[in-house]
Amino acid sequence: SRQIKIAPSILAADFANFGAECRAIEAQGADWVHVDVMDGHFVPNITFGPATCAAIRPHIKGFMDVHLMIAPVDSYIEAFAEAGADLISAHLEAGPHIHRTLQAIRATGKKAGLAINPGTGIEAVAHLLDLVDMVCVMTVNPGFGGQKFIHSQLDKVRALRKMIGDRPIHIEIDGGVTVETAPLVVAAGADVLVAGSAVFKGGSVDNPGPYGANIAAI
Ligand code: DX5
Ligand code: ZN
């Protein structure tokens, strides 16, 4: 069976303590650190940009998974690559030239992710598989943590797993992952689970034990 990775989203962390939060979640068993970049344009919320990613980077020993919810994308790819991202995901819906965007991410030497919103089908993904290391299926509408998992996305995950076949491409699930929904997405074929509120609830940098218990429970 597939090895499942847990990628806590620091969208649910203490924004005044990103360094300590990243160290805490890794010490508590996180496989990847998921970094949500929002621009107030592609999504109705704003987080931070490449300078913050660069500041966080030295506090992450492992894999930094940067989810760009921004439009346009291309003019910022270099900056996020230089900030130390290991993988950069861009949204299929962020512009008319996603193929060029994925090529540009690959050209930096970083891994490329393709994120798709709940209302987007997987037909277009078929034409992009040669350019991606991961497809990120959004199981909430992007912009905010703590939203309810959209169950209709499970069929899409199953179809995507079938389409990917034995290509070395991760399927990441982002949004509403909990103890209850995690088994469903894993059964449908996902292997990277982003979790924000479900990881950070009940804990803090001074009391990180709950992070570990939450990660273990997912
Ligand atoms: C939503 C973000 C997610 C979010 C997940 O736009 O891309 O990464 O932080 O948060 P939870 O796990 O709380 O749904
Ligand atoms: Zn995300």
Share of the chain above pLDDT 90, in %: 99
The predicted model gives 78-84 an average pLDDT of 99
Ligand 1 neighbour 135 (Cβ under 6 A): no
Quick one: pLDDT band at residue 106, thresholds 50, 70, 90?
very high
The whole domain housing 153 covers: 5-217
Residue 121 confidence (pLDDT) above 60? yes
pLDDT of residue 105: 99
Q: What size, in residues, is the chain?
A: 218
User: Taking a C-beta distance cutoff of 8 angstroms, is the pair 69, 36 a contact?
Assistant: yes
DSSP assignment of 13-70 equals: S-TT-HHHHHHHHHHTT-SEEEEEEEBSSSSS-B---HHHHHHHGGG-SSEEEEEEE-
> Is 39 labeled as catalytic in the residue annotation?
no
Share of the chain above pLDDT 70, in %: 100
* Catalytic choice (31, 65, 133, 174): 174
To the question of whether residue 175 is assigned a binding role by annotation, the answer is: yes
Please name which of 18, 30, 113, 17 lies closest in space to residue 57, comparing C-alpha atoms: 18
Per-residue model confidence as pLDDT tens digits over 38-53? 999 999 999 999 999 9
Per-residue model confidence as pLDDT tens digits over 2-14? 799 999 999 999 9
Nearest CA, atom 4, ligand 1: 145
Per the structure, how many domains does the chain have?
1
Q: How far is the CA of 124 from the centre of ligand 1 (A)?
A: 24
78 burial via Cβ count (<10 Å: 0-12, 13-18, 19+) = middle
Quick one: pLDDT band at residue 32, thresholds 50, 70, 90?
very high
Q: How far is the CA of 48 from the centre of ligand 1 (A)?
A: 15
Q: What angle do CA 129, 133, 138 make, to 5 degrees?
A: 85
To the question of whether residue 91 is assigned a binding role by annotation, the answer is: no
Give me the chain's average pLDDT, please: 98
Residue 31 confidence (pLDDT) above 80? yes
Ligand 1 neighbour 44 (Cβ under 6 A): no
pLDDT of residue 2: 73
Question: In this structure, what CATH number is given to the domain that contains residue 154?
Answer: 3.20.20.70
Residue 138, beta-bridge partner list: 174
Distances from the Cα of 114 to the Cαs of 61, 91, 215, in angstroms? 24, 6, 25
> Is 86 labeled as catalytic in the residue annotation?
no
Q: How far is the CA of 65 from the centre of ligand 2 (A)?
A: 9
The predicted model gives 134-138 an average pLDDT of 99
Residue 26 confidence (pLDDT) above 60? yes
pLDDT of residue 40: 98
pLDDT of residue 1: 57
Per-residue model confidence as pLDDT tens digits over 156-205? 999 999 999 999 999 999 999 999 999 999 999 999 999 999 999 999 99
The predicted model gives 96-111 an average pLDDT of 98
